Amino acid sequence: MTTTPSTAPDVLSPEFAADPYPAYRTMREDFPLIHHHTTGGYIISRYEDVARAFKDPVFTSHNYDWQIEPVHGRTILQMDGREHSVRRALVAPAFRGKDLREKFLPVIERNSRDLIDAFRDAPEADLVGQYATRFPINVIVDMLGLDRADHGRFHVWYTSMIDFLGNLSQDPEVAAAGLRTRDELAAYMIPIIQDRRAHPGDDLLSVLCTAEIDGTRMSDEDIKAFVSLLLAAGGETTDKAIAGLFRNLLAHPEQLAAVREDRALIPAAFAETLRFTPPVHMIFRQPREDVEVSGGTIPAGATVTCLIGAANRDGSRYADPDTFNIFREDLTTGSAFSAAADHLAFALGRHFCVGALLAKTEVEVGVNDLLDAFPTMAFADGEVPAETGVFTRGPGSLRVRLARRA
């Protein structure tokens, strides 16, 4: 039998926004299926149910028609079958293998160094405001071969998109700002896309303009929508992953010391951060028919909120789940950035995050660069970094004391 917010935690409450983890525990244990009357949807929180919602074809992504299409346009997240597989095949090669290593790794390294140079000699810095939230957006702009002078403009658009996607309370001002961003980005991108088709270069946008599979190419609108999605999904996951990773390591100095000593542990620290404090806490799905899950039945066509933040701390899947431990044995680092991942931070199945390896590369470069630049790093005096956000979540700021390398 499903429950209601009168007896179960409410995902729209101030208490939930301040700290959702106690609510997640209550949901998993006592209310694994909640019918949320305010939104009209259903909420699932156990690992087995969330993993199934990502992998079982009965769960569709048709909810994105109303959730993300208004701000992005129609993206690969909404597609099924051959349409999805072809569109994914058109964009995926740029985010793995030779292109990622040889073409875009130098772009990632340059942007990381440029941001660090701005505070390399400072005694303190905010790793969120001065690094993490800027780094992935600057990388995406440069990968696309766009004007570096527009880094700031894209950061504003990115912030507006994330606010729109996380607007669970349907604030009209947030919604209106997201729609303005859609129009502004289209006005900026479409002429550049058309020019790049006529004069392709060696950048990601040219790759998208010229890619072809079985006679299928991406339209101008397809490419604009993918760029919009890339800004939101690619920026938010990396932004909050880097900030969360350092917050978690700084809170566990012995694990930070281990990573400093052995940089091969960085992927394990990233994987554990994705499990312990995932950047995206909620992903939505919509079943094409009635589905039985823990706690009851979800009717066909209902919106299902899949709580990644709860599922990743399910004690039936992970030992001591509320403890950050980069050495845990029940999380496989080798598969943590693929569709075979143990954690659910990148989803699973056919809609597994196409940019997971890009995020991994950015995190590895960023963590290495910051540790190399600053042999001493600790929370600034009085700093108690707090997570913010409901749909996506991470430290709002991360002030640290620094000692630079001579």
User: Who has greater pLDDT, 52 or 352?
Assistant: 52
CA distance 229 to 76: 9
Predicted confidence at residue 321, as pLDDT, reads 97
Structure-token match 């400093």, residue found: 260
Q: What is the CA radius of gyration of the chain?
A: 21
Q: Which helix (H) or strand (E) holds 42?
A: strand 41-44
Query: What six digits make up the tokens of 128?
Result: 């969120």
Question: SS3 for 51-116, per residue?
Answer: HHHHHCCCEECCCHHHHCHHHHCCCHHHCCHHHHHHHHHHHHHHHCHHHHHHHHHHHHHHHHHHHH
For the cut 90, the answer to whether the pLDDT of residue 165 exceeds it is no
Q: φ, ψ for residue 43 (rounded to 5)?
A: -125, 130
CA distance readout (Å), 263 to 8, 38, 201, 406:
43, 47, 35, 20
Report the alpha-carbon distance of residue 302 to residue 300 in Å, rounded.
6
Reading the block at residue 2, the tokens are: 């499903």
Neighbour tally for 379: CB within 10 Å: 16
The dihedral built from the CA positions of residue 38, 41, 46 and 47, taken in this order, carries a sign that is negative
**Is the model more confident about 236 or about 404?**
236
- Taking the domains of the chain in order of start, what are their residue ranges? 27-403
pLDDT in tens, 51-94: 999 999 999 888 777 666 777 777 776 667 777 677 777 777 77
Average pLDDT over residues 25-31: 97
Query: Which has the higher per-residue pLDDT, 163 or 126?
Result: 126
- Asked whether residue 19 carries a pLDDT value surpassing 90, the answer given is yes
203 backbone dihedrals φ, ψ, rounded to 5°? -100, 170
Q: What is the pTM of this model?
A: 0.90
**27-403 topology per CATH:** Cytochrome p450 (1.10.630)
In order of 18, 168, 333, 388, the CA distances from 14 in angstroms are 6, 13, 35, 11
Q: What percent of the chain has pLDDT over 90?
A: 65
- In tens, the pLDDT along 184-229 reads 999 999 999 999 999 999 899 998 898 888 788 889 998 998 898 8
pLDDT tens across 386-400, in order? Answer: 999 988 999 999 999
